[in-house]
Structure 1
Amino acid sequence: MFITFSFLIVTGVIASLFYLNFAREKSNQWSFQRVNQCRQLLILIRQHRALTHSQLSIQDGNNNDIKQLHVDIEQCLIKLREQSGTLTGPEVRVLQDKTYRIMANWSEFTVAKNQIEHGKLIRQAMFLIDDIMIKWLVDSRHDAIASDYHHHWQKVLDTLEVLTRFRISIPETVTPQGKQRFRHYAIMLSRKVNQLSLICPLTIADNDQYGILQHLKRWENGTDIEEPQDELYALSLEISYLIFTIYDQILYEICEEIYLPLESPQQVEKKPAM
């Protein structure tokens, strides 16, 4: 009788451990897939911003490319909706509505409004990733990692906010007041990117092939702004790529530590999404 009772207890404990392990694996897989899908959406939105900017500013955009990008974005949103649970379903629906609104109305935007609206959409997608990551980390009892991640995420978000203002000020460089405003944001951006470099120093060293930090530093030191606007915007693309490479590296390292590595940034994004 005692042996039978002991056997039942051991069997129950083993069954409970298997169930908990199964539930943990399912939760990890669900969160992992959603982070991957959100990453892909973020890249597509940035590509949409770049193509529509070219179309609005210099009429140098292929409408067929934009139409195909709309198809890719819609498919990505559908997959994200299918993966969403009750906690993030409303956020995904709001993101979907805002994305469709921009895809339908971008041709009526000014260049500045196009940057602002896409910037808001990108931040919305990043907030969704943040919600997923924080819940995943807390549920898996990685509170210290969650705190570090959110701190780094906030620095990335702050840098992107300054980058948007930097971009909006580019058309204003035709006037002395506009140049002063541009220099102000260039200095702020230089300091923000320098702060990010402390998070992923190797990522900055490997990806700053065009001397972005040095370029921003020149304006901080008082060098005249002589570059044409298309070159300034091209510089902002490189800065954007650098910031998102750092952000992607943060996600990659955390996912690798707690579950599985995400696809490498090179596999997800072959070239700057801008």
Structure 2
Amino acid sequence: MGDTATFPTAAQPATHSALRIHRLGKRYASAQAEGGTLQVLQDIDLDVPAGRFVSIVGASGCGKSTLLRLVLGLEAQYEGRITLDGRPIAGTGPERGIVFQDHRLFPWLTVEQNIAVGLRNAPLSPADKRARVAEHVALVGLQGFEKSWPHQISGGMAQRVAIARGLVNRPRVLLLDEPFGALDALTRARLQHELQRIWQAERITMLLVTHDVDEAVFLGDQVVVMQPHPGRIRRIVDVDLPRPRHRSDARFIALRDDVLRDFQDPAAADRPPAPAARPFAGLRLAW
């Protein structure tokens, strides 16, 4: 399905890619909408250079998750163009991984077996797969828990397993759809630090969708602010802060407050909410 893709070997790391989105639009049939169609996304233009971490924030109904769904390749019908390294995206493929808010671990598999599921279709020997899994267990700091079952580990640890599974085949782009949204505040903050460390180690292009402006500024090189009805980019904010970042830094606070002001616009608050959607409901992945 999708573009022909190869799994990079340990001796040959993935080539990091530029993701380009040009005049992207998406609409769905809707009996409640004028004209019978609901415009969910409109004129989205976004360039994500190789190895960049981009955060996308916006109110519910602005099409953030729909955008990730299109980049993942789950839908072929849309307006505009999405390319990875200059090649149009068509269907899903191992060069694009995803981590959801719900870790979606298989309860009958151990930690290492859940991570290995990400290599199910990889043309690697069993020994190479074991080595790749061990490498990613270490990357997310789960040494000693390889044989544990999902019910024996915490929610934060389960989300680390999901991140390792998303990274184990060395995708060019990792998509993150509210990956820490279901966690308590302390675990969320700890995993934000972990994700920052992993990104700095791997330098994979990452696209994060979040409702949390603080998280978006903490992790992103850029923050894409979206507005709804239809979903479109309001502005793009460069986060020119050194890493590791500190939330007490006056520059961090100023940037965060600047982005937050976009959501305190009374005109935006008065707009009616878009119909509820579950863009990843019923999703079946290759693994």
TM-score, normalisation: structure 2: 0.29
TM-score, normalisation: structure 1: 0.30
User: Comparing both structures, which one devotes a greater share of its residues to helix?
Assistant: 1
Higher relative contact order (CA 8 A, sep 6+): 2
Greater gyration radius: 1
